[in-house]
């Protein structure tokens, strides 16, 4: 697997999650409350310390008021900007 592409994708993923949360006007604690998880969970996914499977990603994204399709479109934009 191309490690450079993987790193670029991971950075785009965390950037997109952070941007979506900020755009929704949510603090990490707000999102954690919505998801019923500790604030550290939100911090870890935004820093890339913890990954998400597709089902978890859908739940997190929808908790911020977006669809998975909208998230993927923004993610693709972020990946392409980092080329």
Tens digits of per-residue pLDDT, 48-83?
999 999 999 999 999 999 999 999 999 999 999 876
Q: What is the pLDDT of residue 82?
A: 74
Nearby residues of 28 by Cβ (< 8 Å), 6 or more positions away: 21, 39, 42, 43, 46
Please state the pTM of the whole predicted model. 0.92
For the segment 24-45, what is each residue's pLDDT rounded down to a tens digit? 999 999 999 999 999 999 999 9
CA distances from 71 to 3, 4, 27, 29, 75 (A): 23, 22, 18, 21, 6
Q: Exposed, middle or buried, 1 (CB in 10 Å: 0-12/13-18/19+)? A: exposed
* Count of residues making up the chain: 83
């Amino acid at each position: 697997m191309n490690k450079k592409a993987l790193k670029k994708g991971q950075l785009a993923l965390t950037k997109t999650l952070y941007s979506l949360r900020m755009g929704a006007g949510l603090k990490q604690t707000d999102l954690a409350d919505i998801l019923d998880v500790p604030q550290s969970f939100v911090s870890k996914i935004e820093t890339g310390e913890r990954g998400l499977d597709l089902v978890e990603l859908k739940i997190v994204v929808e908790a911020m008021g977006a669809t998975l399709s909208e998230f993927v479109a923004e993610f693709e934009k972020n990946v392409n900007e980092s080329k």
